[in-house]
Amino acid sequence: MKNSALLIFATILFSNNINAQLKPVKYADGNQTLNGLSIKAAKKSSQNPGILLLPAWLGIDNASKGIAENLSKIGYHVFIADIYGEGNYPKNTSEAGKQAGFYKTNYEAYQKRINAALQELIKSGANADNIVVIGYCFGGTGVLEAARGHLNVKGVASFHGGLGKDSSRPATPITAKVLICHGADDPFVSKEEVAAFQQEMRDSKADWQMIYYADSVHSFTNPEAGSDNSKGAAYNPVAAKRSFEHLKLFLDEVLKK
């Protein structure tokens, strides 16, 4: 009897470990092959909440993988999107800037690529009506495009992301709740861009919040960003921890578990 109980426990533990591993997923947007990563929630829920994660401008990295794994542990299905696709992965920051710049300018293509990943998250088991999109740096810009493009998501959360859009684009109603986690000393997002974004949120009648983190610049959630704020991008462990806690509060509010 004791051996049977241990066997059952070991089977459950093994099953949970299998489910809570990042798995490669090949999908497509038109003729473009994409390579995302999927991880199931470590614990079952009848609501199957899902999180679509949009990585920074260099593409899927260790930081995004670590965040996906942590979110899986607390009960979320997660899919990390591949925005660029095979044959287009940047080799350095210069190439990343060009690639990201294309999608920032061609925002409809960005929205379409995000939606392709969203469908893969749903295929993986997430409830199509119980999803939040989160993003970092370039991905933080992407979550705002998901909101502006009226994708079927309950909320979006941006971490040290670009906030601007072309001023010629009209502000349309935004129904997804919006969380912005922003480095108070981020040199890549001007005061004018912040002001324009906040006005857009007001004009869009959005339910939004913006949290500033002291002594934080760009990439403050990424342990591989170094520690020198003078470079404009650096890791801040205090801000990283606080922003993840703020994300969890946001998810608890927006998603059903």
Q: What is the pTM of this model?
A: 0.92
- What's the rounded mean pLDDT across residues 219-242? 98
- 52 and 118 in contact (C-beta within 8 Å)? yes
Residue 218 per-residue DSSP state: B
| Mean pLDDT of the chain, nearest integer | 93
- The yes-or-no verdict on residue 237 having pLDDT over 60 is yes
- The yes-or-no verdict on residue 95 having pLDDT over 50 is yes
- 39 and 21 in contact (C-beta within 8 Å)? yes
Q: Collapsing DSSP states into helix, strand and coil, what is residue 47?
A: coil
- What's the rounded mean pLDDT across residues 172-184? 98
Residue 20 pLDDT: 65
Report percent pLDDT > 90 for the chain.
92
Residue 134 pLDDT: 99
- What's the rounded mean pLDDT across residues 51-70? 98
- What's the rounded mean pLDDT across residues 23-40? 98
- 70 and 244 in contact (C-beta within 8 Å)? yes
> Cα–Cα distance between 29 and 38 in angstroms, integer?
17
- What's the rounded mean pLDDT across residues 57-83? 98
Report the run of H or E that residue 177 belongs to, with start and end: strand 177-183
- What's the rounded mean pLDDT across residues 64-73? 98
Residue 5 pLDDT: 40
Residue 93 pLDDT: 95
- What's the rounded mean pLDDT across residues 50-65? 98
